[in-house]
């Protein structure tokens, strides 16, 4: 499998479109398309971004050697009834795009975004806990 196939197959396995991947990486959709057809190759900087976003080892993505999957400590899925409808959850690509955007913010702004998200998470927990107690 060549670089173009590794990029294309891994992107598809993550459920991302070329447009979503391009947005996350910060390139045009056409650039992703050219990488996936082998017409051009990503710069080393974009290759590192691809490896991070696609959750694979840089060496495997660049050369095809080594282990492809990165190991992460899996966090158990939320068991709250609010998470029971998958249609309400953002798509993985949307989460990746949001994360990529947030990571490019200045530290102070990123801290504010994180604080808002943490407050929303706590509010959600309080709201769902009080509903469970009332039933």
Spatial distance between the Cα atoms of 33 and 68, rounded to a whole number of angstroms: 21
Q: In this predicted model, which residue has the larger pLDDT, 74 or 109?
A: 109
pLDDT tens, position by position, 19-48: 989 888 889 999 999 999 999 999 988 988
**pLDDT of res. 133:** 61
Q: Helix/strand/coil (H, E, C) string of 68-89?
A: CECCCCCCCCCCCHHHCCHHHC
pLDDT tens, position by position, 40-97: 999 988 988 898 888 888 889 988 887 776 644 333 334 434 434 445 555 566 676 7
């Amino acid at each position: 499998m060549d670089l173009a196939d590794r990029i294309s197959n891994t992107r598809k396995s993550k459920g991302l479109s070329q447009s979503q991947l391009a947005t996350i990486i910060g390139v045009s959709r056409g650039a992703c398309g050219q990488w996936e057809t082998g017409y051009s190759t990503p710069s080393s900087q974009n290759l590192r971004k691809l490896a991070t976003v696609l959750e694979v080892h840089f060496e495997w993505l660049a050369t095809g050697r080594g282990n492809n999957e990165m190991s992460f400590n899996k966090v158990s899925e939320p068991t709250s009834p609010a998470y029971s409808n998958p249609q309400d959850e953002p798509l993985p690509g949307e989460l990746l795009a949001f994360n990529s955007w947030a990571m490019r913010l200045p530290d102070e702004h990123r801290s504010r975004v994180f604080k808002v998200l943490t407050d929303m998470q706590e509010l959600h927990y309080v709201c769902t806990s009080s509903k469970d107690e009332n039933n």
